[in-house]
Chain A
Amino acid sequence: MIEKALKGSSFYWGWLVFLLAIIAAGALAFIYQLNVGLGITGMGRDVSWGIYIAQFTYFVGVAAGAVMLVIPKYLHHYTRYAKIVVFGEFIAIAAVIMCLLFIIVDIGQPQRMLNMILHPTPRSILFYDMIVLCGYLAINIICGYNTLLADKKGVPCPRWVKPVIYLSIPWAVSIHTVTAFLYAGLPGRHLWLSAIMAPRFLSSAFAAGPSLLIMLLLFIGRFSKWKPDPEAMQNIARTICYAMIVNLFFMAMEFFTAFYSNIPAHKYPLQYLFFGLHGHDQLVPFMRFAIAVGLVGVFFLLVPAIRRNPVGLALATLFVFLSTWIDKGIGLILGGFVPTPYETIVDYCPTFPEITIATAIWAVGAFILTILFKVAISVREQQIS
């Protein structure tokens, strides 16, 4: 089946070469980082995690988002998703691989990584994160590959795959819950020390993952012979809308708790992110922009006339994707570290090599996604002809 990725237009090949060039640049930057140290990044003793871990967190969410198609299709037998589900699973595969890469580039001694298995430590949340992420990758490869292969042959999916698909549902919830627990269980990091951290993560995941899927499906609809079912996309858009409203609501709850209780340590991170603290306001425009586009995205999704318009739908999902990306892929990690344990403020800014490495991992994700989508689209095109 994978051989279908070897035949494509010059645009397809050009795109792959373009991605490879970015990956090569990132690989060079990574070698530089390996030789010199993580000091080439903007991280420091106070903000000790930066965009690597922030992107990791965000893409765990994108990966978990696939479950929003699996549940209707396999638990409610909603057949309109039958042809689309595999694209969600393929996004999950690419996203989980990105997550693993972001971890690898973030750690100081990547060659010692297998110490995680050599010295398993069940009291550490990272131990569980490793298990759930690797497991989720395996599950999605198994489900995605087998369902697509069955589609290609025109036979029903093998029966043994069904339980794996059902397993993927709680597993998707687990990856983002465990990832939230990485942060929510730390004393003294007030932005993270919140019981709704995991629900917040899940709601933003269920908005972000499907948003990316819609954008890609709209793109596929324009450029391939196979046209994704518009009604199915409308339903995914409704799911995104609900999830995004819940996500914004949860964010408002964080504001209420911090500001009504008036406990300084709980207010500081939110003040730093959204209003600026002691003159440090570099993140304020980003965070406000995130809220604004999030609200606009929800509005676009709520109004049927806009949602039914492909341009409106594309914009709405783009806004939701951007909003959740800024919130989780930038603000969440930095707000956890600032103010520092000494209640001082340290601004973090990623460096050029750091951004190059992160971009290259995005390119790896795009590369995997392109190939997987190419295979899936070829199968769908073959089905119509």
Chain B
Amino acid sequence: MKIDRRKFLKAAGVSALASLGGKGAWEILDPGAVDAAEHGGHGHDKAKESGPKTRWAMLVDMRAMTEEKADKIREVCDFAHNIPHWDDPERELKWIWKEEYEHVFPSSYNEYISDDIKAMPFMLLCNHCDEPPCVRVCPVQATFRRPDGLVAQDYHRCIGCRFCMGACPYGSRSFNWFSAKVALEKEEGRKINKEFPVRTRGVVEKCNFCVERISLGKQPACVEACPDVMHFGNLADSESEIRKILRKRMSLRRKLELGTHPMVFYLV
């Protein structure tokens, strides 16, 4: 049954691929991806099996997290990426932000869980999913998945249709409802990071796992700010620091039942 479906998918896609040569289309027909869609049920590990060398992931150690650190992380990220602040929560641009347990894990909400977990400031960010629905729906490949698992956003290409915002089950995507540059200028005493651009009005943005830093061999800004709380590393490498931590500690991931394979882990 599994094989049949895969064959069918391939056959159905061949004509489309032949005419368009789309690398994007190949991604959904890639056998490795089909395996990964089922890996939750079969205990496979895609990272180990199909062999990409890098699969970036983030660990958030909730035992070490405090309100102060959460605020510091947000502040550091907002500066690094020139994210303006809005009074209206519906206009907010959020790359990394804190949220309560109840809202972070609504589908597996356990009302009898310990009070300290309920009170923890969970840091939310883009999950850089292995099976990202936002990438599936984007009509122009403005959002795409890099071979290292990073879900990137091309602000030059985004047409602002916001289909990805509807598709993201984590609410991790923000739209530039107004001009961010104007907003930054209005903010009193706002420091601007002149090494990183702003986003134009009318495009969608989100956490980029600090691709501008990791491509230069640096750690993401949030990790650099609070290295005891945030751990960034390569999930594909079974000897990596984050894999060692994951083997030892109990971790949670958001909405696993949707099969998106989020790459952000919460250590509790």
A and B touch in the complex (CB under 8 A): yes
A19→B7 CA distance, assembly (Å)? 54
- A108 and B176 contact, CB distance less than 8 A: yes
Stretch of B46-54, B164-172, B211-219, B227-235 that contacts chain A: B164-172
Q: Are B24 and A36 neighbours in the complex by a CB distance under 8 Å?
A: no
Contact B90 A45 (CB under 8 A): yes
**What residues on A are CB-neighbors of B31 within 8 Å?**
none
Count contacts between A and B, CB distance < 8 Å: 159
List residues of chain A with CB within 8 A of the CB of B171.
45-46, 340-342
A116-B166 in contact (CB<8A): no
Which A residues lie within 8 Å of B99 (CB)? 342
- Whether the Cβ atoms of A116 and B140 lie closer than 8 Å is yes
Query: A44-B91, A120-B20 in contact; A182/B103 too (CB < 8 A)?
Result: no
A262 contacts the other chain (Cβ, under 8 Å)? no
Asked if A265 CB lies within 8 Å of chain B CBs, one says yes
Report, as a range, how many residues of chain A touch the other chain: 35 or more
Cβ of A10 within 8 Å of any chain B Cβ, yes or no, is no
A118 to B20, CA, bound (A): 11
CA distance A188 to B166 in the complex (A): 9
B136 touches A124 (CB 8 A): yes
Report whether A45 and B163 are in contact in the complex, using a CB–CB cutoff of 8 Å.
no
The total of chain B residues at the interface (CB under 8 A) is 58
A123 at the interface (CB under 8 A from B): yes
The CA-CA distance from A357 to B104 in the complex, in Å, is 36
In the complex with contacts A187-B259, A189-B166, A39-B177 CB distance below 8 A: yes
B152 within 8 A of A: no
Contact, CB under 8 Å: A187 / B167: yes
Query: Which residues of chain B are near A108, meaning CB under 8 Å?
Result: 158-162, 175-176, 201-204
**With A37-B178, A45-B174 known to touch, is A109 a contact of B159 (CB < 8 Å)?**
yes
A39 B160 Cβ-Cβ under 8 A: no
Evaluate whether A121 and B140 lie within 8 angstroms (CB atoms) in the complex, with A37-B179, A188-B258 already known.
yes
Contact among B16, B107, B141, B259 with A119 in the assembled complex (CB-CB below 8 Å): B141
Contact B202–A38 (Cβ < 8 Å): yes
**Cβ of A127 < 8 Å from any Cβ of B?**
yes
Q: Would you give 6 A-B contacts (Cβ < 8 Å), ordered by A?
A: A48-B175, A109-B203, A112-B158, A186-B137, A341-B168, A342-B106
- List chain B positions with a Cβ less than 8 A from chain A: 13, 16, 20, 22, 24-25, 27-28, 88-92, 94, 99, 102-104, 106-107, 133, 136-142, 157-163, 165-171, 173-179, 200-204, 255, 258-260
The 8 nearest A-B residue pairs measured at CB: A108-B160, A44-B90, A108-B202, A188-B169, A39-B177, A342-B103, A126-B139, A343-B106
